[in-house]
Structure 1
Amino acid sequence: MAEIEIKLDRPRIDELLAPYRQQIGNDFPGYRNHVYRTVTYAMHFLGNHSRYEPLVETAFVYHDLGLWTDHELAYLEPSEAVALADNEKYGWGLDPDALRGAIHWHHKIRPYKGPHQAVIEACRKADWIDASMGIIRKGLSRAAIKQVEAAFANEGFHKTLLRLAKDYGGSTLVGGIQVTRGIVKW
């Protein structure tokens, strides 16, 4: 597999995140860097083909957004709804089925097969790498993951997820169960 390409500046990501910065609050640096890491991994799996970039960047900006916009642990559908509404409102012209699918299936345990398979599967693998902090590598080298993590520091992102599970679920255990039931797909 080719060396991983790291883009330190992705204006689309920053533009799309900007309207949600206040809602995300103190969690913003961690979420932004999570988005950058996952986009980097997904684009790598897609051979860095520019035709995928707007969809991948948009999907990852929105993929967890429901945690903050709707305060929901089952955040996939709220995240999809915000992404689809903004896609229509701002006329981005992204395929709504591909955008919805990239968000909806990003926690799927088994490989995704179906429409828009290449991009959805790349996003799924990318999020598993970052959610597991590189324990699950999906074919990437440890060195590549370390490069990406060095470029985009964690900024407490994984601690944020635990805190939100506790805040929204009443306890980390109950929240963790709610998250798992609400977002993990087979």
Structure 2
Amino acid sequence: MSSDSLRDQVEARLAPWHRQLGADRAAYTNHVLRVLALCDLLAADQQPRPSAREEYLTAATLHDLGIWAAGTFDYLAPSCDLAMAWLSSIDRDDLAGLVVSMVDQHHRIRPAGPPHDPVEIFRRADAIDVGRGLLGWYGVSPAARRDLMKRYPAHGFHRTLVRLTARRLRTNPASPLPMVKW
């Protein structure tokens, strides 16, 4: 699948939330595209590639969307609900269990399964992008990482995460990162 075609698919899934995403739309879209590209790199031996599979497209596009759609930093449940609604709308309820696990476990600290499992591939891909390597690179080369950032610039995505975390810390100091699981 070409990069433009993948972007079109992601944009189509995000279209209902363009207003809520507002100024963060380009940043979030590129985060989704980087995560999908990282899934492809982490599962290079799998065919079809993750970015061409509905479970990855749905999980990647909707995994953090609850931040904007539900207006909360405790966004896993709203994001899971969005994923289930999307899958139902395209008659792919058969993927609901897997996609909900991918979304719900994507901020898990410990592995979510063996390295080839879709939930673990997705968790690692998001950790690479969000953590900018602080949580590990899982074998993704520095050249590949640089290429992804050139192809899909951050547009302030990481600054937005820091700002949201700081706001949550001020309002809920006992639970600054409610999406993190062990």
- TM category, shorter: 0.7 to 0.9
Deviation for aligned residue 1:170: 6.5
1:24 aligned onto 2:26: no
Considering only aligned residues, what root-mean-square deviation do their CA atoms show, in Å? Answer: 2.3
Q: Which runs of 5+ in 2 are unaligned?
A: none
The residue that corresponds to 1:134 in the other structure is: 133
CA distance, structure 2, for counterparts of residue 177 and residue 8 of structure 1: 42
In percent, how many aligned pairs have the same letter? 29
Q: How many pairs were matched up?
A: 176
CA contact (8 A) 2:84 2:93 kept: no
CA contact (8 A) 1:6 1:148 kept: no
Q: Which runs of 5+ in 1 are unaligned?
A: none
Alignment map for 1:7-156 (pairs within 5 Å):
7-10=3-6, 11-47=8-44, 49-50=47-48, 52=50, 53-113=53-113, 118-135=117-134, 136-156=136-156
Deviation for aligned residue 1:25: 0.6
TM-score with structure 2 length normalisation? 0.86
CA contact (8 A) 1:73 1:175 kept: no
TM-score with structure 1 length normalisation? 0.84
CA contact (8 A) 1:84 1:96 kept: yes
CA contact (8 A) 2:169 2:175 kept: no
